[in-house]
Structure 1
Amino acid sequence: MELEACRQEIDRLDQQLTQLLEARMKVVAQVAEYKALHHMEVYDPRRERLVLDKIAALASDKDLAPYLQTIYRCIMDESKRYERKRMET
């Protein structure tokens, strides 16, 4: 595959990822509301470990699992930051 074709495919996938991440963050806002109502902490290390383990298990290419887990750590860090912001308001 030529470089330009690869870039076009990445652009197409980025559009899909953006839509999915936006939908995920909308659910994170609902989680923040629930946690605020129930006086829960934002950070749940047990849940994060479960998510990271699940991501590794879902990866069809196991060589990519550590990279996907790193990406998910970033996603979860931003989700926690967004939860905290939502809980402040």
Structure 2
Amino acid sequence: MNLEECRKEIDRLDKELTNLLEQRMQVVAKVAAYKKANHMEIFDPRRERQVLDKIAAMAQYKELAPYLQKIYQCIMDESKNYEREYMKL
């Protein structure tokens, strides 16, 4: 596969990832609504640890697990930011 083909494949995957992340953020809004209605904290360290551990376990290529965990940490950080904004509404 040449560089241009690789980039096309990355573009295709980015489109899929964007769609999935948008869906994830829509669920995050539902989580925020639930937490707001039930006076719950946004940050749940135990849940975050579970997610990161699950991501590492799901990784097909174990050498990629630490990178995937870092990506998911960023996703969760932005999800918390979105929850904060959503809860202000």
Report the TM-score range of the alignment, normalised by the length of the smaller protein. over 0.9
Tell me which amino acid in the other structure corresponds to 2:69: Q
Which residue does the alignment assign to 2:80? 80
User: Could you say what the CA RMSD is over the residues aligned between the two structures, in angstroms?
Assistant: 0.3
TM alignment of 1:1-89, pairs within 5 A: 1-89=1-89
Task: Give distance in 2, aligned partners of 1:52 and 1:26.
Answer: 20
Query: Identity over aligned residues, as a percent?
Result: 70
TM-score (norm 1): 0.99
Tell me which amino acid in the other structure corresponds to 1:18: T
Runs of 4+ more than 2 Å apart = none
Can you give the 5+ residue segments of structure 2 that lack an aligned partner in the other structure?
none
- 1:32-63 CA distance string (max 9 Å, x none): 00000000000000000000000000000000
TM-score (norm 2): 0.99
**Equivalent residue of 2:41, what SS?**
coil
Query: How big is the shift at 1:87?
Result: 0.5
How many residues were matched structurally? Answer: 89
Task: Give distance in 2, aligned partners of 1:51 and 1:41.
Answer: 17
Task: Give distance in 2, aligned partners of 1:72 and 1:36.
Answer: 23
